[in-house]
């Protein structure tokens, strides 16, 4: 009660009931993808939604990012951990993780799709995010995104799917075609009220220069190419190895600067 500075009659109302509105988080994403591990002690967390609230908890239950290995061929790109680093670097809070496999598995659209199913039992998530969807073929990516929309708009009706535009790093005037129109045509017309997307992709990086070294490159492939390029096929094996190693090391140095 405030101090009464003048004579008179004062009416003071007291709230007889506590606040009936309980504050809850309004943005709780559920991330689905591949992780280094998925364990809580001796119990597997594979395909089990698990609530975390920090990057430290993510590392405790799901491990760290894959160590990049650059080869002269395409390979699976596991990006979930990098997305988690960006999420928490930008003020992220509680979220759920559904790990569908580790880094020894191939990224598979059906496995990612199955990772949506356990979320039916979880009422808290408000968003479904599958960052590795865009590493699939375009057709498989759209099938997975449609499954996420159906989960949000038909099964649950209390959350949205956050979708990446396939090839969203390309300009809309790219020779391959307008990626935004391609997305609109391929995603279909069902449950669009329960989805959100953006364009273009955010151009950023979470991998630091000191995380890359010579071990990130398949030096044997590089040496084989340099041996052919430098015409070393007819010299001794010892000399060939010496020159190729020297050239490979300097090539790698120029890549990681």
- CATH number at 57 reads 3.40.50.11780
The pairing of beta strand 95-101 with beta strand 29-34? parallel
Pair (98, 129) in one structural domain: yes
Structure confidence at residue 56 (pLDDT): 96
- What percent of the chain is predicted at pLDDT more than 70? 68
Average pLDDT over every residue of 166-174: 94
33 assigned to some structural domain: yes
Pair (177, 55) in one structural domain: yes
Number of domains in the chain: 2
pLDDT higher than threshold 50 for residue 256: no
CA dist., res. 4 & res. 158, Å (int):
50
Exposed e or buried b for every residue in 112-127, given b needs 16+ CB within 10 A?
Answer: bbebbebbeebebbbb
The pairing of beta strand 127-129 with beta strand 29-34? parallel
* Distances 71 to 156, 186, 230 between C-alpha atoms, Å: 42, 32, 20
12 assigned to some structural domain: no
Residue-wise pLDDT tens digits, 88-143: 999 999 999 999 999 998 999 999 999 999 999 999 999 999 999 999 999 999 99
- Find the angle CA(89)-CA(170)-CA(195) to the nearest 5 degrees: 60
222 assigned to some structural domain: yes
46 assigned to some structural domain: yes
DSSP calls for 154-205: IIISS-EEEEEPTTTTS-TT-TT--HHHHHHHHH-STTGGGEEEESS-----
Structure confidence at residue 148 (pLDDT): 98
Pair (56, 183) in one structural domain: yes
Average pLDDT over every residue of 230-257: 54
**161 or 257: whose pLDDT is higher?**
161
Structure confidence at residue 67 (pLDDT): 78
Structure confidence at residue 161 (pLDDT): 98
pLDDT higher than threshold 90 for residue 66: no
Structure confidence at residue 255 (pLDDT): 44
Pair (160, 38) in one structural domain: yes
Average pLDDT over every residue of 152-172: 96
Whether residue 68 contacts residue 252, with contact meaning beta carbons closer than 8 Å, is answered with no
Residue 99 main-chain phi, psi, to 5 deg? -85, 130
* Distances 116 to 55, 97, 151, 225, 227 between C-alpha atoms, Å: 22, 11, 7, 43, 48
14 assigned to some structural domain: no
How far is CA 165 from its chain centroid? 14
Pair (85, 166) in one structural domain: yes
Pair (194, 217) in one structural domain: no
16 assigned to some structural domain: no
Structural domain of 215: 209-256
């Amino acid at each position: 009660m405030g101090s009464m500075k003048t004579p008179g009659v004062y009416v003071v109302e007291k709230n007889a009931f506590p606040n009936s509105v309980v504050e809850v988080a309004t943005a709780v994403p559920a991330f689905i993808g591949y992780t280094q591990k998925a364990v809580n002690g001796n119990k597997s967390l594979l395909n089990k939604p698990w609530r975390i609230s920090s990057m430290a908890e993510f590392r405790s239950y799901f491990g760290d990012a894959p160590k990049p290995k650059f080869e002269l061929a395409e390979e699976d790109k596991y990006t979930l951990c990098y997305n988690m680093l960006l999420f928490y670097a930008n003020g992220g809070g509680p979220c759920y993780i559904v790990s569908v496999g580790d880094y020894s598995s191939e990224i598979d659209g059906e496995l990612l799709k199955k990772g949506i199913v356990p979320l039916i039992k979880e009422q808290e998530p408000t968003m479904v995010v599958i960052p590795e969807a865009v590493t699939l073929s375009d057709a498989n990516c759209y099938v997975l995104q449609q499954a996420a929309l159906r989960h949000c708009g038909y099964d649950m009706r209390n959350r949205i799917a956050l979708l990446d535009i396939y090839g969203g790093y390309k300009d809309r005037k790219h020779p391959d075609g307008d990626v935004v129109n391609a997305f609109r045509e391929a995603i279909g017309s069902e449950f669009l009220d329960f989805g959100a997307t953006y364009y273009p992709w955010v151009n950023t990086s979470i991998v630091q220069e000191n995380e890359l070294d010579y071990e990130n490159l398949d030096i044997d492939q590089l040496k084989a190419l340099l041996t052919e390029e430098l015409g070393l096929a007819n010299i001794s094996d010892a000399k060939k190895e010496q020159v190729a190693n020297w050239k490979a090391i300097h090539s790698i140095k120029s890549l990681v600067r």
